[in-house]
Structure 1
Amino acid sequence: MMIAVMAVAALGLLGVAHWYLWRRLVRDVSRPGGGYRRTGTVLAFLLPALMLLAVVGGRAFPLAVERWFAWPGYLWMAVGIYLLLALLAGEALRPLLRRLHRRFHPRLHLDLHRRRTVATAPAPAAAAPVTVPATPEPAAQPPVETAEPVAAAEPAEPGAEASRRLFVSRLVAGGAAAVAVGVVGNGTYGVLRGPRLKHVTVPLAKLPRAAHGYRIAVVSDIHLGPILGRAHTRRIVDTINSVQPDLVTVVGDLVDGTVPELGPAARPLADLRARDGAYFVTGNHEYFSGAAPWVEFVRELGVHPLENARVELPWFDLAGVNDIAGTAQGQGPDYDRALGDRDRARAAVLMAHQPVTVHDSVRHGVDLQLSGHTHGGQLWPGNYLAELANPTVAGLERYGDTQLYVTRGAGAWGPPVRVGAPSDITVVTLASLRA
């Protein structure tokens, strides 16, 4: 019942938002019956429909069909968000723009002033009766009264004011469209270009001197699906291999689909090269399409899954836990299994997709947790919403004796767009306090 109520509320909000966009971008800037208004009205229904199909397409359609909805639907989602924000900002500018227009177009202002003067001027008072004095001859004439003048009719809405409103509406709408298209275009280029390398140094008290400078490549949220495919994976693999890391960690949300659909897109992961290998943990999106087949598939590619498990590397313990989303399927995180019997004198690095598990890591004596999931907010101002649900949205923070590093991820979910949260692959360099 609650899900149904939330769905109805979301659809209602979507409808109100698109009515506002139609009003400001179509109705207020066009003449009734014109081709622009007809086209804009059709798009006001078609674009949100494509967006809804893109959101539900992964569970309702095969990947080949989903691609037809994903590109236009998700791009409109991003463009619509920034159109809405820009138009709302434009509401505050409308009074100023009208005053500026009146100042720099005085003829229109004077015309408007004259029209209003005529419309509001009081009618002249009725003339007093005029009496002609009597004379002996001819006979006295009756008094003659002048007729009252007819008051000027109240004019309709002045044309100058209508022209001014149309000019301001078109200026605001055009500016909002330019801002939205520019922001989304730049954000789309950033995703399709591929993630950039980010370098972070993390000191660990228990790390031996011999491991000082050990480098871990951290990649998360690749999100292979109807938009990002094999070429995206290849860019990521080439970027990681270019820095020759000691270890590669793939921290969940690799895919949005099944192995038969997206296995070929993930296959370049077999080319990852690192001295101590590559490791993988599940994210919440793996459980949407079936995590077990993906675990086996990445194992075949030479990437080692850590399902609530631990491996003892020469200088520290590397552990991994399943994502919280696996709990409903009996495959949730098990910290006791992954970390319960380890030697706490050794440093421990934990792979866990969601940052919210950091408090479990603190209780189990983890020195460093590597996470993703948040995308850094992906679309500003989404970072403020992400802060409500995650202890850390991006970057390095300390919780007790545990440090948490959250990468913004290498891909994008939904719109292939990032604004204010560029994608990254992070090279975490471990530093020994004994060095």
Structure 2
Amino acid sequence: MRWIIFIFIYFLINFYSFQSLRTITRSNWVLIGYVIVSIAILVNLIYQLSQPNPEGGFTGGRGYAIGFMLAFMAGNLISMLFMFGEDIGRVIVAVFQKVTTPAESFSLPSRRKFISQIAMGIAAIPFASLLYGMYEGRYNFKVLKYTLHFEDLPDSFNGYRVAQISDIHSGSFDNKKKIEYAIDLINEQEADTVLFTGDLVNNLADEMTPWTRTFANIKSKDGVFSVLGNHDYGDYVSWNSDRERLANVQAVKDVHAKMGWNLLLNEHRFIEKNGERIALVGVENWGTGGFKKKGDLDKAGQGLSPGDFKILMSHDPSYWQEKIKTDPNNYQLTLSGHTHGMQFGIEIPGWFKWSPVQYRYENWAGIYEEFGRYINVNRGFGFLAYPGRVGIWPEISVIELRKGPKPA
């Protein structure tokens, strides 16, 4: 039934785009070509989603099928809005003419060619953008730099630089050179430490097999520290037994060790300089809306005091809203990921930032401050489901810690 409803809506939307195209051109080849493409995209999606998928997720052919459908539907929806609006106007004009001249028969005015041209022109923007996001945008890595000031930062850590990456989703990658370039980009930042905030894989530990050596090349003076994200627990796969699922989770944890990363599971470590120290705290995933809740902030911070300077890694930013930002143990800086910025949006740095994901998450991309405490939500390193990024590019965050009050 869901497929029937979807197919009906799909062809209804396409009908309006077809009408728009027919107003612009009378070429039967163009119209036939449009119909063939419409049917091919739908058939491919149904075929890909009907295939066995023991690994779960939406990668490979499934991901591209979803991507092409999103691009095609986005353009057609824009076109439909214009055409539907014109239809309302046509009906109003026809009714008015019938009322004012009863002797005349009721007839709709013809569609206006320039309206169809505008509709198709604007519709081409999201269509082309989503295709670009699939072929270029997903590897369009950006380094975003921030400077944060803390009065309680130990003097020895003034100028300390933290690089953050998140949401690798290694099972989605298909271009080793692009990933190697991104690893080089991380190392070029010469950060004092690199912190990874979860979702190493889409579902299975084996997804990291081709990439373990590549990510093991990430270097920093004080090492790489990491936490788990919701996808690292393998909850989106149908396992034969719970024992099999737990074995996969352990294998994911083992990959961190193979790469030389320090995985923090509701625990903390200290970094010391000149007799002073800061704490790196890592909690397991905790998220609202049905996501896994294994994070235990109290356990992770056991033994720490409010006076200790702390950097907390928590994959899902909803934990910051739920508990971290008001916790009496005073977590000065939290690093999260998870949202991907929905891999789609519009950003004009310093001026404007929008993505549909903001209606789901209060903290979804970049730096936020409440109660004198900060959170950075990394936009993610990889991609999932839609195999691309538009406007919300893959991110490497670099945060410099500075001693002193926040500048006015």
TM-score bracket for the superposition, by shorter chain length: 0.7 to 0.9
Bigger-Rg structure (1/2): 1
Counterpart Cα distance in 1 of 2:186 and 2:50: 33
Structure 1 residue runs of 5 or longer lacking an equivalent are: 1-7, 98-115, 123-153
Confirm or deny: 8 A CA contact 1:216 1:249 kept in the other structure.
yes
Over 3 Å counting, the alpha-carbon distance change for 1:188 and 1:293 in structure 2 is: same
Confirm or deny: 8 A CA contact 1:67 1:227 kept in the other structure.
no
The one-letter amino acid of 1:426's match is S
- Of 280, 285, 294, the match for 1:323: 285
- Of 11, 14, 17, the match for 1:19: 11
Confirm or deny: 8 A CA contact 1:395 1:405 kept in the other structure.
yes
> What SS does structure 2 have at the residue aligned with 1:203?
strand
The answer to whether the aligner puts 1:396 opposite 2:389 as a matched pair is no
Q: Return the offset for 1:266.
A: 4.1
Partner of 1:145: none
Partner of 1:47: 41
The answer to whether the aligner puts 1:71 opposite 2:29 as a matched pair is no
Over 3 Å counting, the alpha-carbon distance change for 1:77 and 1:181 in structure 2 is: closer
Q: Return the offset for 1:423.
A: 2.4
- Of 294, 299, 308, the match for 2:252: 294
Over 3 Å counting, the alpha-carbon distance change for 1:254 and 1:87 in structure 2 is: farther
Confirm or deny: 8 A CA contact 1:407 1:424 kept in the other structure.
yes
The higher relative CO (CA closer than 8 Å, separation ≥ 6) is in 2
Aligned positions of 1:137-148 closer than 5 A: none
Q: Return the offset for 1:199.
A: 0.4
Q: Return the offset for 1:344.
A: 2.9
Counterpart Cα distance in 1 of 2:49 and 2:374: 35
Partner of 1:110: none
> What SS does structure 2 have at the residue aligned with 1:393?
coil
Counterpart Cα distance in 1 of 2:147 and 2:335: 13
Q: Deviations over 1:244-291 (max 9, x none)?
A: 110001111222142224421343110011000011111112223643
Over 3 Å counting, the alpha-carbon distance change for 1:196 and 1:65 in structure 2 is: closer
Counterpart Cα distance in 1 of 2:117 and 2:405: 63
Identity %: 21
Q: Return the offset for 1:15.
A: 3.7
> What SS does structure 2 have at the residue aligned with 1:398?
strand
The one-letter amino acid of 1:29's match is L
| TM-score (structure 2 length as normaliser) | 0.76
Q: Which structure's residues are more often helix, by fraction?
A: 1
Counterpart Cα distance in 2 of 1:18 and 1:434: 55
Partner of 2:262: 304
Q: Return the offset for 1:17.
A: 4.1
Over 3 Å counting, the alpha-carbon distance change for 1:92 and 1:32 in structure 2 is: closer
Aligned positions of 1:156-305 closer than 5 A: 162=110, 165=111, 167-168=113-114, 170-172=116-118, 174-188=120-134, 190-228=136-174, 230-288=176-234, 290-305=248-263
Q: Return the offset for 1:414.
A: 1.8
Root-mean-square deviation (CA), in Å? 3.9
> What SS does structure 2 have at the residue aligned with 1:282?
coil
Partner of 2:243: none
Confirm or deny: 8 A CA contact 1:83 1:180 kept in the other structure.
no
Partner of 2:323: 360
Structure 2 residue runs of 5 or longer lacking an equivalent are: 91-96, 238-247, 347-352
Once structures 1 and 2 are overlaid, which stretch shifts more, 74-83 or 308-317? 74-83
Confirm or deny: 8 A CA contact 1:54 1:66 kept in the other structure.
no
Confirm or deny: 8 A CA contact 1:194 1:423 kept in the other structure.
yes
The one-letter amino acid of 1:428's match is I
Q: Return the offset for 1:206.
A: 1.9
Q: Return the offset for 1:369.
A: 0.3
Q: Deviations over 1:7-61 (max 9, x none)?
A: x67x57744541233102235534999565555445444424544666787x824
Counterpart Cα distance in 1 of 2:291 and 2:119: 49
> What SS does structure 1 have at the residue aligned with 2:78?
helix
- Of 312, 322, 343, the match for 1:378: 343
Confirm or deny: 8 A CA contact 2:334 2:374 kept in the other structure.
yes
Counterpart Cα distance in 1 of 2:372 and 2:58: 49
Over 3 Å counting, the alpha-carbon distance change for 1:374 and 1:45 in structure 2 is: same
Counterpart Cα distance in 2 of 1:61 and 1:45: 27
Confirm or deny: 8 A CA contact 2:287 2:319 kept in the other structure.
no
Counterpart Cα distance in 1 of 2:291 and 2:334: 24
Over 3 Å counting, the alpha-carbon distance change for 1:260 and 1:254 in structure 2 is: closer
Q: Return the offset for 1:431.
A: 0.8
> What SS does structure 1 have at the residue aligned with 2:268?
strand
Once structures 1 and 2 are overlaid, which stretch shifts more, 342-351 or 88-97? 88-97
Over 3 Å counting, the alpha-carbon distance change for 1:121 and 1:207 in structure 2 is: closer
Confirm or deny: 8 A CA contact 2:265 2:283 kept in the other structure.
yes
The one-letter amino acid of 2:393's match is P
Q: Return the offset for 1:412.
A: 2.2
Once structures 1 and 2 are overlaid, which stretch shifts more, 400-409 or 307-316? 400-409
Confirm or deny: 8 A CA contact 2:68 2:131 kept in the other structure.
no
Confirm or deny: 8 A CA contact 1:24 1:173 kept in the other structure.
no
Confirm or deny: 8 A CA contact 2:342 2:357 kept in the other structure.
yes
> What SS does structure 2 have at the residue aligned with 1:319?
strand
The one-letter amino acid of 2:41's match is L
Over 3 Å counting, the alpha-carbon distance change for 1:211 and 1:89 in structure 2 is: farther
> What SS does structure 2 have at the residue aligned with 1:233?
helix
Confirm or deny: 8 A CA contact 2:267 2:282 kept in the other structure.
yes
Counterpart Cα distance in 2 of 1:61 and 1:353: 26
